[in-house]
Amino acid sequence: MFGLETSMCWKREKWCNEGKASAWRQGGAFFVRQEGTIPLKNGKLRKSEGNSFASSVQHSNMICVEYMTDITRGQQMENTFANQHNRLLLSGFLSLAVVMGIGRFSYTPIFPYMELDQLLTPFSAGLLATFNYIGYFLGALGARYVPRSDKWLYIGLGVNIGTTLLMGLLDNYMIWSIWRLLSGMTSGMVFVIVSNLILSRLNQTGKMYYSGFLYGGVGFGICVSGAAIPTIQSNYGWEGTWISLGLLSGVFMVAIMLGMWKQGTSPGPASLSGQIRKNRHPEVVQNPKKAKYALYISYTGEGFGYIIFGTFITAMLVKNPSFAFESSYVWAIVGVGAIPSCLFWSWLGTRLSPVRALKWAYMTQIISILIPVFTDHLLLTLLSALGFGATFMGITTLTLTLAKSLEAAGPNLVSGLTAAYAIGQLLGPIVAGTIISVNDFTIPFMISAVVLVAALITINFIKDQKGDTSYAVRKHQSH
């Protein structure tokens, strides 16, 4: 027998499901203490009969080495899956930076320079944006038929980057329309593939909070492009700006491919403690079917309402002679607000409930869109940009997180909502561009706010579960 008073050389302890296993070496022998369920070799589980200590060479040398091997392997597996999770999340972050933050939204700060060269009018600029959103609609719809694989992700990224480069190589409106259409199609496709792939992984591992980090990639792309555009434009013109952003996107794609390398697209284990069952979201709303239709209506309104500000805010500032600040930097502030916003709204969704957080996000966005209508004060304009950036991707995060929890109410809800969002987006620039051609920017921005108020009213038809003041507690317990 070996006494327990001998000095300890090393010790490892690991929680396993609802139990605990400890192993250590003592006086030349191996010891193990097990409580509850512990992992054995080949992934099998064994229920211990109370607490036990291996206390002899015959038992400890064999059994404890076996347990220690499994515990060590479990720790290695935990580190491996954590690394895979982080790499996959970062790849999704950069993918959205490429196709959304740069490929899609860099048009907003660039087209005023194209207007100054008399290549675009307010109407043709709005129509060119609409081609992009038609493409986004088609891409989001078609994405449900595309396999969720890294192959299709790379195809979408490659085509999207190519269209960004080509915008600076040719000076022809019809060809630009084709490039923006293809850019929109790949944006919609990649957005849905990345959302489904990574939200599914996060849902199964009980880490939906990290969805906020994923959608922060859009803000990162906006911030980087918005900050870089004035310098590039002053040296190389709008053509060089498009080309430079395309090259930057190519660098990001290399990082994405390295992050996805040797990673399967299938979700990993839900936990490394032997837990096999999939974690599911608690029921967060009453009447999920009714909530699904309310999300469709409100998210379509959000697409229409936000895109008017998102397309024309820089043009509005450029054409205002009393506003001397570089408009592209205002757009960069939108990105600054968007980067942490998704994490913030995800956190608020866990504290209040996704539905209540969504209401606050809509109210904040409405106020932000109305500020430039009533004042061109620099500080208030920057606050408007920050508030807009802090909400437009936050609303997407909360809406799609709710959609994931409502999947039982209808399949392909994420791609369906993305398509509905795209319908609003393709209508917004046409309406706004037509009005701006014969009037100023005030009326389109007011229409945007009215539509968003209607979306907010629709959200009020989605009811939290009764007693949802304890939502954060129930969510914690469900994990």
Run of H or E residues at 231: helix 211-260
What's the pLDDT at 5? 31
Helices 173-204 and 65-96 pack at an angle, to 10 degrees, of 160
Judge if 59 and 137 occupy the same domain.
no
Between the alpha carbon of residue 457 and those of residues 249, 451, 462, the distances in Å are: 39, 10, 10
Mean pLDDT of 138-142: 86
Residue 366 confidence (pLDDT) above 90: yes
Query: Could you tell me which residue, 43 or 311, shows the higher pLDDT?
Result: 311
Residue 362 lies in a domain: yes
pLDDT reading at 378 higher than 80: yes
Q: Are residues 372 and 462 in the same domain?
A: yes
Confidence of residue 449 (pLDDT cuts 50, 70, 90): very high
| 290 pLDDT more than 60 | yes
Q: With 80 as the cut, is the pLDDT of residue 323 above it?
A: yes
DSSP H stretches of helix in 117-210: 122-142, 150-166, 173-204
Query: Are 392 and 338 within 8 A, CB to CB?
Result: yes
Identify whether residues 57 and 110 lie together within a single domain: no
Number of domains in the chain: 2
Shared domain check, 150 and 53 = no
What b/e string do you get for 94-113 counting C-beta neighbours within 10 Å, with b at 16 or more? bbbbbbbbbbbbbbbbbbbb
Q: Output the pLDDT for position 261.
A: 65
Same-domain check for residues 304 and 439 = yes
291-313: average pLDDT: 93
pLDDT at 35: 45
Look at residue 79 and tell me whether its pLDDT is greater than 90. Answer: no
Residue range 178-237, pLDDT digits in tens: 999 999 999 999 988 888 878 777 777 667 667 778 888 999 999 999 999 999 999 999
Average per-residue pLDDT for the chain:
77
Residue of higher predicted confidence among 197 and 396: 396
Q: Is the pLDDT of residue 410 over 80?
A: no
- The answer as to whether 271 is a domain residue is no
With a cut of 50, say whether residue 269 has pLDDT above it: no
User: In which band, very low, low, confident or very high, does the pLDDT at 363 lie, cut at 50, 70 and 90?
Assistant: very high
Range(s) of the domain holding residue 176:
103-266+278-478
> Could you write out the three-class secondary structure of 424-475?
HHHHHHHHHHHHHHHCCCHHHHHHHHHHHHHHHHHHCCCCECCCHHHHHHHH
Q: Which two three-digit tokens encode residue 205?
A: 């591992």
Please tell me whether residues 70 and 107 are part of one structural domain.
no
So what's the pLDDT on residue 212? 76
Residue 2 lies in a domain: no
Residues 151 and 210 in one domain: yes
Of 121-135, 213-227, 261-275, minimum mean pLDDT range:
261-275
Choosing from 57, 75, 93, the residue where a domain stops is: 75
Percent residues over pLDDT 70 in the chain? 71
Could you say which of 75, 93, 121 is where a domain stops?
A: 75
Residue 71 has pLDDT above 80, yes or no: no
What is the predicted pLDDT for the residue at 292? 86
Residue 13 and residue 125 in one domain: no
Read off the pLDDT band of 11 (50, 70, 90): very low
| Co-location of 428 and 350 in the same domain | yes
- In this structure, the answer to whether residues 328 and 366 fall within a common structural domain is yes
- 272 domain-assigned: no
Residue 328 and residue 326: Cα distance in Å, rounded?
Answer: 6
State how beta strands 29-35 and 19-26 pair: antiparallel
The span from the CA of 138 to the CA of 130, in Å, is 12
Is residue 212 located within the same domain as residue 340?
A: yes
Whether residues 18 and 133 fall in one domain: no
Q: H/E element holding 355?
A: helix 354-374
Q: Is the pLDDT of residue 420 over 70?
A: yes
What does the pLDDT read at residue 214? 85
In this predicted structure, the answer to whether residue 282 has a pLDDT above a threshold of 80 is no
pLDDT in tens, 146-178: 877 778 899 999 999 999 999 999 889 999 999
The per-residue pLDDT for range 329-359, each reduced to its tens digit, is: 999 999 999 999 988 998 898 888 889 999 9
